Structure 1
């Protein structure tokens, strides 16, 4: 029978993973901002109710994200 040798596990620190996740969040926010700037304008004759619906869906999801961030920050205080 062959003995399997394993490496000693090092404790995992959350700082690097948190920093990476934080940067991803900031990148996503920047992307959202750029895309919002590119959206159809209210005075555009091509504006339809589907555009309003899409933006309302975006706002609903962003509201959930904002609530999660608020909850996370309050949990640390």
Structure 2
């Protein structure tokens, strides 16, 4: 029976995955910023309470993201 040689597994380094995730985060932030710039303006006569509610929901979720990023940075120190 022939002996089968296998390659030793290389340890996975987190740097490449982290770099990729970091770039995705930055791309998402840029997309959010562009979309915020396109949102209805306060002087638009079509502005309704649903717009205010939507923006408040966005702010609540962004606040959670900001807290998570802050927590992650503090855990690193």
Shift of 1:8: 2.2
Q: How many residues align?
A: 77
Deviation string, structure 1 residues 23-76 (Cα, Å, up to 9, x no partner): 000000000000000000000000000000000000000000000000000001
The whole-number CA distance in structure 1 between the counterparts of 2:44 and 2:2 is 73
Distance change (3 Å), C-alpha of 1:36 and 1:2: farther
Unaligned runs of 5+ in 2: none
* TM-score for both structures, normalised by structure 1: 0.91
Counterparts of 1:10-25 in structure 2, within 5 Å, are: 10-25=10-25
What do you get for the CA RMSD once the two structures are aligned?
1.8
SS state at 1:47 partner? coil
The whole-number CA distance in structure 1 between the counterparts of 2:40 and 2:22 is 30
